[in-house]
Structure 1
């Protein structure tokens, strides 16, 4: 089972934030079979980057840049702001909100803020749970456990197949390689807690 030390180190989070999220991330890891050291470490390093160390549960930008983005399903006026990134892995756009609503049984289309309330300090327990669970759903729906299984945590993450696979995971989550050095740093910071 995931420990507070593992969560704190792999996400580079403050203890207070990690403590708030720990029960929900444990549930999420159980629910989505994020159950091996490599799966957990890779998931947490990515979540740590996406959430700024388990702090942010909502994108800082207004979301107006997503207005009219049909590739995100934002077809109605105001969808960009309404369905901006939320959760520990920033779920973005009407299409993703609809998919996560169906998967988790909560209507995030009608209640987008149920996915996160600005940051960990302002979130209620429902938002903390949904922020964690939605990240697990995203990870699972993109088959990222299978990619994490290809990473050998006993070898360097900075070279060879490990780096290739880590970059694939990053691109699947981010659409590119934004923050790659930070994501790698979080992985390396947490590594000793998983081997």
Structure 2
């Protein structure tokens, strides 16, 4: 079980009230998406801590202009880069990923019309847990392979040192 105290110990600069809003959703959706062993939970929380700026951001700070016209993300319409910039605790990015996430979580395409729904605490966590499971990250966590997990989430090794630091703290808390 994740508690607000555990999250606060992993993200000491984040206010307790901020991390507390994710606790019940984390416990529910980690169980639902088989993020159920200490090793899986440590890796999941460490990656979320990095991707969300210590659970402070569920919407990418950058404008999203860098994603404009990115066909690999399904951003084929003018404005898609900004509209479908990273959201949720794992930063779902791009029209195609929003559509996949929406179909998986809601059985429809509602996120294409309302991408900000991923900013709500339950949806921010559920989308992250869905992404984690659907991208085979439990298997990589079972191998304790933080580099491979980071590459699958990020496409490279951006923030690897930060992710490793969160993981090292998580090892003492979880």
Task: Identify if the C-alpha distance between structure 1 residues 169 and 144 changes in structure 2 by more than 3 Å, giving closer, same or farther.
Answer: same
2:121 is aligned with 1:128: yes
Partner of 2:133: 140
Unaligned runs of 5+ in 1: 117-126, 152-164
Partner of 1:114: 117
Task: Map 1:170-189 onto structure 2 (within 5 A).
Answer: 170-189=150-169
More helix by share: 2
Alpha-carbon shift at residue 11 of structure 1 (Å): 4.6
In terms of mean alpha carbon deviation, does 1-10 or 32-41 score higher? Answer: 1-10
CA RMSD of aligned residues (A): 1.2
Provide the C-alpha distance between the structure 2 equivalents of 1:182 and 1:64, rounded to a whole number of angstroms.
Answer: 25
Q: What whole-Å deviation, never above 9, does each CA across 1:114-143 have from its counterpart, x for those lacking one?
A: 111xxxxxxxxxx11111110101101101
Q: TM-score, normalised by structure 1?
A: 0.84
**Structure 1 residue runs of 4 or more that deviate by more than 4 Å after TM superposition:** none
Partner of 1:76: 77
Unaligned runs of 5+ in 2: none
Partner SS for 2:90: coil
The answer to whether the Cα contact below 8 Å between 1:11 and 1:190 also exists between their aligned partners in 2 is: no
